[in-house]
Copies of this chain bind each other. A is one copy, B any other.
Amino acid sequence: MSRQLNEPVDAALVPRFAGHSTFMRLPAATSAEGLDVAILGIPWDGGTTNRAGARHGPREVRNQSSLMRRVHHVTGIAPYERLAVADLGDLAVQPIDLMAALQQIEAGIAAICAAGALPLSVGGDHLTTLPVLRALRKADPGRGRLGLVQFDAHSDTNDRYFGDNPYTHGTPFRRAIEEGILDPARMVQIGIRGSVYAADEHQWARDQGVRIIYIEEFARRGPEAVMAEVRTLIGSGPAYVSFDIDGIDPSMAPGTGTPEIGGFTTREAQAMLRGLAGLDIVGADVVEVSPPFDLGGMTALAGATMVFELLCVLAGNAGGPPA
């Protein structure tokens, strides 16, 4: 199938509050065929240990993404001129059976990979990242283990919850390391903070080689220095980018299930995402936007803007407009 560039609805003709609500006001697609990047929703929060609601994330991120325009104001990148992008809709994941849900997500991402498109997904809770990573790993086994750039308040490398549950939104990256999907030596977590269950809670991750940049270190060094380290650490290998919205301070992203005060700002988040330029990103997500706890759509707007920033990074990497 040939590639076709899509453009958002023209806001100079159709007001932003009008029209079907799709990611970035892009056309809705039913298949990833012909796409470079498939933006999709994963409306599932079955791995949430405290306040559920991220299942409603994709709908509200779509709504707020109507405020995005076509061109990045700093880099001048016009992503829709460089990449074939569409809104692939939501994966149909049922909310009742956790193990079945993980399979449904993995299958949905696998189909996107099979079509040759890169998945840029909107969660959903952070456990959704695990089946996404599984699909990416299987789609290209020769590519080797993936690096990870994770923006987050929590390391999400715990082992078990509520007795012996291995799959919650607090465990995905432990599982992904154990399953040989992620290369811990090329993993970095930025913005980690908040009280912990045990003094050695992050020790397992550190023992594997995961680089944890606590918010206190981030505050001292700033986004530019941190991202320089990130680029060195990730290197030229393939990497996934996972943006948990609770990395942002709860005054700017209140709509999330496990808020921790003292986070980074949206401006710092934007600076960090722009610092990803040049990395070999094979997929990305924005997770844990939980509309029932949001205030005035503020968190969904932050999430939508992060999706746009990620898209522009992908487009920047893609080089100039396609011939």
Q: Is the CB of B292 within 8 A of A295?
A: no
Contact B261 A17 (CB under 8 A): no
Minimal beta-carbon separation of A90 from chain B (angstroms): 4
Interface size on A, residues (CB 8 A): 98
Complex interface: stretch among A137-145, A175-183, A245-253, A278-286: A245-253
A67 to B196, alpha carbons, bound, how many Å?
A: 10
Contact of B56 with A92 in the complex, beta carbons under 8 Å: no
17 A-B interface contacts by CB (under 8 A): A15-B49, A17-B55, A20-B87, A20-B90, A51-B292, A67-B259, A69-B196, A73-B192, A96-B98, A250-B298, A251-B251, A251-B266, A254-B296, A259-B298, A262-B265, A262-B270, A292-B292
- Which residues of chain B have C-beta atoms less than 8 A from A94's C-beta? 13, 15, 161-163, 165
Are B46 and A96 in contact, CB atoms less than 8 angstroms apart? Answer: yes
What residue in chain B is nearest A14 (Cβ atoms)? B92
What B residues does A167 contact at CB under 8 A?
Answer: 96
- Chain A contact residues, CB within 8 Å of chain B: 11-22, 28, 41, 43, 45-53, 55-56, 58-59, 62-63, 67-74, 76, 78, 87, 89-98, 100, 160-163, 165, 167-168, 192-199, 201, 214-216, 219, 249-252, 254-255, 258-263, 265-267, 270, 292-296, 298, 301-302, 305, 308
Known: A195-B71, A252-B251. A52 touches B53 (CB 8 A): yes
Is A195 touching B308 in the complex (CB atoms < 8 A)?
Answer: yes
Whether the Cβ atoms of A214 and B41 lie closer than 8 Å is no
Cβ–Cβ < 8 Å partners of A259 in chain B? 67, 298, 301
If A43-B18, A162-B13, A196-B73 touch, whether A49 touches B95 (CB-CB below 8 Å) is yes
Across the two chains, which residue of chain B brings its CB closest to A10?
B197
A interface SS class: loop
Whether A262 lies near B267 (C-beta < 8 A) is yes
Shortest Cβ gap from A63 to chain B (Å):
7
Which residues does chain B contribute within 8 Å of A90, judged by CB atoms? 14, 18-20
> Is the beta-carbon distance between B19 and A89 smaller than 8 angstroms?
yes
A20 and B20 in contact, given A52-B45, A165-B94 (Cβ under 8 angstroms): yes
Roughly how many angstroms separate A51 CA and B14 CA in the complex, as a whole number? 13
